Structure 1
Amino acid sequence: MLLIYGNTETWDALDQEGIEAVYAVHRAILAETRANGELLAADGLTVENARVVQVKDGVPAVTDGPFSESKEVLAGYYLLDCTLERATELAARLPEARHSPIEVRALTDPFEE
């Protein structure tokens, strides 16, 4: 899984580069990974109506916004079926990687009942 992070500075920088060019890179990666059978899912995430839920002393504490204890927020993801090396190569091609981190993570095995 490629986890795409960003913040206001990221979005401003990408906007200055030309947001259509950013979208074009994403469309190309989507088309390539779809054609290769690597793409399982991909989407962007919004901060609208986002909240953080944490249980403290048995009581859910809910705060507005997607903001955990970090500067960047999770902005989108690609779920791929490929090697670690391929995922790393694709992550480096994302325009956001020039401004914010892209995490490359493996999924755990599903829980068995």
Structure 2
Amino acid sequence: MPQYLALTYTADVDWRDPEHAAELAEYREFAQEHADRLRASAVLHPTATATVVRVEGARGGKIVTTDGPYAETKEALTGYYLIEAADLDEAVATAARIPAAWGGAVEVRPVIAAR
């Protein structure tokens, strides 16, 4: 069955903070309700913990890292769900139930299986 990656974009917060407990509970409820089609999921640490990696001069070049997010944005990539669905329409219907879709955004992309 095809798989789709649903990338969640929300405010860039630390989901471990108690002030976000109620909202995080909504995400857990979503995951429980859709456990039959979710193959993986994760909440990401805030973008301040990111390390951006670039290779100067293409493959084999110097590896350069930068601390912090790639770009300043109002919403940040804060998590993902790997959804198994019959087609894009079914994946979109599932993604629309992710709490991030209600106040942020959810980007759905088909997955190309690596073999």
TM class by shorter chain equals 0.7 to 0.9
| Offset, 1:29 | 1.5
Dislocated runs of 4+, deviation >3 Å: 18-21
TM-score between the two structures when normalised by the length of structure 2: 0.71
Are 1:110 and 2:75 an aligned pair?
A: no
- Structure 1 residue aligned with 2:104: 100
SS of the residue corresponding to residue 86 of structure 1 reads helix
- The number of residue pairs the alignment matches comes to 101
Structure 1 residues 40 and 97: alpha-carbon distance in aligned structure 2, compared to 1, 3 A threshold: same
AA at the equivalent of 1:84: L
| Offset, 1:54 | 0.5
Q: Which has the higher helix share?
A: 1
TM-score between the two structures when normalised by the length of structure 1: 0.72
Q: Which has the higher strand share?
A: 2
| Offset, 1:51 | 0.2
- Identity across the alignment (%): 33
- Given the alignment, which residue of 46, 59, 63 partners 1:60? 63
| Offset, 1:90 | 2.4
RMSD: 2.4
